[in-house]
Structure 1
Amino acid sequence: MGQYWKLINLDKRQTYGDWGKLGECLFDGSPSCLKTSLRATAEKLPDCDSLIFPFKPGALFEEAYESRPATYFPKAADHSLNAKALPNLPLEMIHEIYLNAEDLADVICLSMTCQFLWEVGRGHIYRHIVAIVASYSWVGDRIICVGDYLRNEDIPDSLLTPEEKVEFTSPDPDDDGDFTLYSYPFDVVGWGGFSIDILLKSAKIVKRYRSFYSYLITDGQILSSLCNEYYTLPALTQLSVLRNLSRHQYVRESALIAWREGAQAKVKETKNVGFGEIVLSRICLSTDPSASMSYDGDIHRGVWAGDRFDLVSSETEWLEGLGEDSGWTDVSDKVLEEVEEIWKSEYRYN
């Protein structure tokens, strides 16, 4: 059957799920998600008022078009008619209700029930969105790709804290099977660093609640704006630097591009190699060397397994800022030489 692998963030206890055999996921584009997760210069979210607009009773929602009349938001509701209505509860109690709502969809739906709760709740919607976006950044976290044949006694002592070793490798008393780092129930994150479905599904739930749905979604300015503008990070206009923060080593994108241009004459598939593939090829850890690959090196004992990384978006500026005694080492040539050996072995080029 072969050994299966799982990319894991040990600090956030997250995983991209089961990736199958290393000989497949390393070459099929899967590692590209790391280029999003490790971006150190992601755009910051706008403030709450810019992202989750305040409700303005009676404001114009939609201009008149042809024979269709203009549409206005309803006037503010009169809550004095029902003393038991939720908006008439003490404000502290309403906030407590919001704080105990764990699901973004629930927070949105509650806020959609009336104008007053929209004004109270939009801050809580924003709080959830900020937490979601932050949770998908892997900058500076310990990252490892674990094989399902890894035995607990082969986990390096420096990889896990004593508490983590107990948590990640201790079996459930009701489970008779082996419990390893691979089988620990890490939270599964979405493809490419962010599960866009989280917000879109929440939006669909809101659709059946009043015409506010259009204000939130169709207008393209609030939640859909987050999906389109803040989930999709701005395109990098400058060369980047992959930094191993644990070892103070770095790989220059200029070196990667130059290597790709030369290596394609030998192995055309190297045109798809990026920083994600570089990281994945060096963070694998397993007891068993089986990787469903032609490469016979010790890829299963990755020299960067469990290290911390980020991507700096301006190679020139960052390199110019390094002092003579910075302690950083350029490992671009060494790393790319090893990557070339892996790709040459896999595609059987001479």
Structure 2
Amino acid sequence: MGQYWEIAALGRKKVMIKQYLKLGEFLFDPELAQDLERVLAVPVVPSYHDSRPENVKSHHSAADVGTMDGKPGSLSRFPTEIHRLIFEYCYDDDLKSVIFLGVTNRYFWSIAREYVVRDFMQSLGVWAGQQLITVGDYLKVGDYPPGLFATEEDKENLLKRRPEDDDEMDQDEIDQLPVEHRTISLYDRIDCSFEIEAPEAMPRLGDQKSIILGALVEDPCYRTVSNEIHMQREDFYPRDEVWILRNLTTHQYVRREPLELQPGLAHGPFVQGIGFGCVVLSRISWSSDPSVSLKDPTGRIHRGLWAGHRFDITTMTRHEKLTAGQNWTDVTEELVEEVTAIWSADQGPDWKKFALSQYDGLRVSFPDVNSQK
């Protein structure tokens, strides 16, 4: 039957899929690679004109909030620091309250917008910095990548057998088992206990959108800022930045440009054809058995060199700012050669055409690079 695999983020206890696919079935799946890129890509805060509340307040003297009798209220005269505390209180309770207060005037919206952006960003790049591994179900107990666990306690907490793993045994019975039977394999733990991670952005606003629209659709201020409330993922991944995939464990990075099979296929960190997701998937697999259901020119894809490592996708600008003085290695050439070898070995001489054709049904996920916002 072959070996089935799960893609997991260990710290989050999440998996990308639970469809019991073979490695050769999802390694060349563009939708899965795209989903992986989405959860690894660190968002960039969009820049807006006059975005600082202090600047907006100084240029909008009409920002006072009226009282019920029509007289100017005193709320807007408080310092910005106090206003932020009020918005923070509203945000802890309900994002809807933040928006209702924010659309009362341009100054308050300049503060509310920060919380709307924050809420949206919390659902982006959720696997960035997580330990990632693709585990096969032929994995033996006690077999895991070197350095996967920081301590023995971490290993025990994850792999020890629990009553919920076996309906026929309670904890006392488990404690009576031989030591070697008190733990389960990493695959079994992931399969039994990890939940599916939805790659789509789902901020708290999502479930309340219809309520908010119904209450605000006629509000002129809302119409002015509606495009800032209903943001898209692409707003957080600028196309004019240089994007890289980083292995945070080994201090190595891969540049996006050399991965492009032809010009014009990149949209921020996302590339049609072969992208960062393909690179990660080619190196994070781990199993005790070499059954991978694909032609493997490396001979070691089931013992991935990066299995259990931490990753993110970010801009070169952010990388240079965060890593000043640190030693990082550009491994782009090595990875492009390796991924190319895997694709060509399995898909044949027309592998590039195959890779590009796989995205025909996914083009909606990649906006036209020439389109205007």
Q: Same fold (TM over 0.5)?
A: yes
Distance 1:235 1:322 in 2: 23
**What letter is aligned with 1:154?**
D
User: Who is 2:225 aligned against?
Assistant: 221
What SS does the corresponding residue of 2:16 show, helix, strand or coil? strand
Are the equivalent residues in 2 in contact too, given 1:256–1:336 (CA < 8 A)?
yes
Distance 2:291 2:6 in 1: 14
Are the equivalent residues in 2 in contact too, given 1:4–1:147 (CA < 8 A)?
yes
What SS does the corresponding residue of 1:18 show, helix, strand or coil? coil
Distance 1:317 1:159 in 2: 24
* Distance change in 2, residues 1:17/1:232 (3 Å): farther
User: Who is 2:160 aligned against?
Assistant: 170
Shift of 1:187: 4.3
Are the equivalent residues in 1 in contact too, given 2:145–2:308 (CA < 8 A)?
no
What SS does the corresponding residue of 2:155 show, helix, strand or coil? helix
> How many residues are aligned here?
293
Matched, 1:130 2:118: yes
Aligned match for 1:234, one of 215, 232, 237: 237
Structure 1 gaps of 5+ residues are 51-55, 60-73, 77-94, 102-106, 263-269
Distance 1:129 1:235 in 2: 15
User: Who is 2:309 aligned against?
Assistant: 307
Distance 1:186 1:316 in 2: 32
User: Who is 1:275 aligned against?
Assistant: 276
Are the equivalent residues in 2 in contact too, given 1:7–1:144 (CA < 8 A)?
yes
Provide TM-score, normalisation by structure 1. 0.63
* Matching of residues 100-139 of structure 1 within 5 Å: 107=94, 111=97, 130=118, 133-134=121-122, 136-137=124-125, 138-139=127-128
* Distance change in 2, residues 1:250/1:214 (3 Å): same
User: Who is 2:328 aligned against?
Assistant: 328
Distance 2:89 2:259 in 1: 51
**What letter is aligned with 1:150?**
L
Shift of 1:143: 1.8
Distance 1:128 1:163 in 2: 39
Matched, 1:141 2:142: no
* Distance change in 2, residues 1:128/1:252 (3 Å): closer
* Matching of residues 1-350 of structure 1 within 5 Å: 1-18=1-18, 20-29=21-30, 30-40=32-42, 42-43=44-45, 107=94, 111=97, 130=118, 133-134=121-122, 136-137=124-125, 138-161=127-150, 162-176=152-166, 180-191=188-199, 194-196=200-202, 199-204=205-210, 211-212=215-216, 219=223, 221=225, 225-229=228-232, 232-257=235-260, 260=261, 272-295=273-296, 297-314=299-316, 318=320, 327-349=327-349
Shift of 1:141: 2.5
Shift of 1:25: 1.7
Distance 2:18 2:220 in 1: 35
Provide TM-score, normalisation by structure 2. 0.59
**What letter is aligned with 2:160?**
S
Shift of 1:58: 9.6
Shift of 1:188: 2.9
* Distance change in 2, residues 1:37/1:205 (3 Å): same
User: Who is 2:371 aligned against?
Assistant: none
Distance 1:170 1:97 in 2: 42
Q: Deviations over 1:303-329 (max 9, x none)?
A: 01111223342489959x987xx5322
Q: Deviations over 1:34-87 (max 9, x none)?
A: 33333345226988989xxxxx9998xxxxxxxxxxxxxx969xxxxxxxxxxx
Are the equivalent residues in 2 in contact too, given 1:152–1:181 (CA < 8 A)?
no
Are the equivalent residues in 2 in contact too, given 1:108–1:125 (CA < 8 A)?
no
What SS does the corresponding residue of 2:313 show, helix, strand or coil? strand
Distance 1:349 1:233 in 2: 37
Are the equivalent residues in 1 in contact too, given 2:283–2:307 (CA < 8 A)?
yes
* Distance change in 2, residues 1:215/1:149 (3 Å): farther
Q: Deviations over 1:183-207 (max 9, x none)?
A: 253343323xx33486433323666
Structure 2 gaps of 5+ residues are 55-62, 70-87, 168-183, 264-270, 351-373
**What letter is aligned with 1:301?**
R
User: Who is 1:265 aligned against?
Assistant: none
Aligned residues with identical type, % of pairs: 29
What SS does the corresponding residue of 2:209 show, helix, strand or coil? helix
